[in-house]
Amino acid sequence: MSLTKGFKQLIAEARAKITTLTLAQARSKFDDPNVVFVDIRDVRELEREGMIPGAFHAPRGMLEFWVDPDSPYFRDIFGSGKEFVLYCASAWRSSLATAQLQEMGLSPVCHVEGGFKAWKEAGFPVAEKPQHQHP
């Protein structure tokens, strides 16, 4: 099988047009009430690894539907006008997701360099996944 683009090229193209926060930049936004950290990992990853305290969980597979106000799955948080900082495990999925949301017109949106793995390794705050987060 021959692909015209592999995942590495897709990620590189996404990163060329999005904002990537360093860990220090992301950490400085942690307590900002106008910033929403968005965890796009699978729920099993959250249960196993924890998450950034106060982050909103939006599974990658539903993200575009939750962001679009015309979707029956729209989540009000994405209409809040706040800054959205996406993260996944290692910043691959969040790179692609940030590019997609930016293309949809969500702004401001960015992602965290190194993802949750780097956040956790830096000793930054980590919490357990809340039992139930969405209505």
Both structure tokens of 42: 């699978």
Cα 17 to Cα 89: distance, rounded to the nearest angstrom: 20
27-70 confidence digits (pLDDT tens): 999 999 999 999 999 999 999 999 999 999 999 999 999 999 99
Q: What residues does 21 pair with on adjacent strands?
A: 112
63-95 confidence digits (pLDDT tens): 999 999 999 999 999 999 999 999 999 999 999
Q: Is the pLDDT of residue 9 over 80?
A: yes
Query: What is the predicted pLDDT for the residue at 60?
Result: 96
Count the alpha carbons within 13 Å of 102 in the hemisphere toward its beta carbon.
19
Domains and CATH numbers, the chain: 19-121 (3.40.250.10)
pTM: 0.94
Q: Is the pLDDT of residue 132 over 90?
A: no
